[in-house]
Amino acid sequence: MTRSRRGWGAIRKLPSGNYQASYQGPDMQRHVAPTTFQDKDAATVWLTNQRRAVEDGTWSPRTADGAHQRRKTVADAFEAYLTRPRRRDLKPRTEAHYRELFARFINPSFGDTAVAGVMVEDVNAWYTDRTLWRKKDGSIMRTYRAHAYQLLSSVLGYSLPSGAVNPCQIEHAGTVDTEREIRPATLDELTTMTAAMPDRYAAMIPLTAWCALRFGEVAELRRKDLDLTAGLVRVSRGVTRVGKQTYIGTPKAESKRKVNIPPHLMPMIKDHLRDHVGRADTALLFPAASGGNLAPSTLYRHFYKARDAAGRPDLHWHDLRHTGATLAARAGATLTEQMARLGHKTPQMAIRYQHAAADRDKVIAAALSGLARGA
């Protein structure tokens, strides 16, 4: 039995005198021709056809008996992408968002299409189809479109063989342009909104704003997370809701951190702990009436009234966090210190976080209280 090495694929002569052809496919598996060949030239022709199919994107693997396997569709690729062995641990809410994007925007256009059959012109036409992205008022859902485009690009990039060109080629299409200008709350507006909230939730407004917390982080804070002696709040968990299901896990982007509480907030926080929080270390700072985590919809019923009282019907809850970032910048926080205080952690920013000292954050917290006093 002899083997002939070629530039692409391999041919070997069997004891029977026939030739067997094989090659390594884009899936990194070795594929053997379903039949043997009486001469070497016929085996070479088969390999040439297989190579051409790989290069033009029409290739699909064959089983040992030569029957075509079902080609991997974009829907198949999406599921493989979500369950890939080395994927980051998706938050339940993020996975739900991906599934909504795929079901609503990607699957109708590409779900049954073979991954290798998605062309650049197909993606361009899908992205520019205004009927797909139009809101009821005629405007374009730019955020949904950007997220869907980025998801499609990631799914195809994960599924295509090494060296293949991703058909998602529109520059900056996956970038979300802010559709509204965020206007931070003023100090007077924060005071008015705090006063307009029910007593058991009043401290949520200043704690969220001055410490720049996310809703999921503040809704999962417990008595043990506050260090009143050091004036710290430890952010180590977050709560999210997907439908009616509640999930508690690490904060967004793995942003565990310690945030110094501006000293002017400490009396309010101590009063809140005394009057509205259970004695157990695990007692929630802002529980729902049922005792569990506060649902966003419950908070919003009160917050909408509070923001109206302050004359800010445009304000979103997350804008309080944006307000905190603005206040910290006014207090003199550098970009590095801002990122550390807000918990914006990315691999690219890891080195910069090493320079954000805890002592400097305490100075920032004190300066924030200076702003509150009008200094």
Span 18-39, pLDDT tens digits: 888 888 887 777 787 777 788 8
Using CB atoms within 10 Å of the CB of residue 174, give its burial: 0 to 12 exposed, 13 to 18 middle, 19+ buried. middle
Q: CB of 327 within 8 A of CB of 371? A: yes
Written as one letter, the residue type at 179 is E
Among residues 6, 84, 318, 355, which one is catalytic?
A: 318
The answer to whether 360 is a known catalytic residue is no
The percentage of the chain sitting over the pLDDT mark of 70, rounded to a whole number, equals: 85
- Confidence (pLDDT) at 69: 44
The percentage of the chain sitting over the pLDDT mark of 90, rounded to a whole number, equals: 44
Higher-scoring residue by pLDDT: 298, 64: 298
What is the distance of C-alpha 305 from the center of its chain?
31
The answer to whether 68 is a known catalytic residue is no
| CA–CA distance, 106 with 126 (Å, rounded to integer) | 9
The answer to whether 302 is a known catalytic residue is no
pLDDT in tens, 238-269: 998 877 788 888 876 668 899 999 999 999 99
| CA–CA distance, 156 with 271 (Å, rounded to integer) | 54
The answer to whether 272 is a known catalytic residue is no
The answer to whether 353 is a known catalytic residue is yes
pTM flag (> 0.95): no
Quickly count: other Cβ atoms within 10 Å of residue 19's Cβ.
Answer: 22
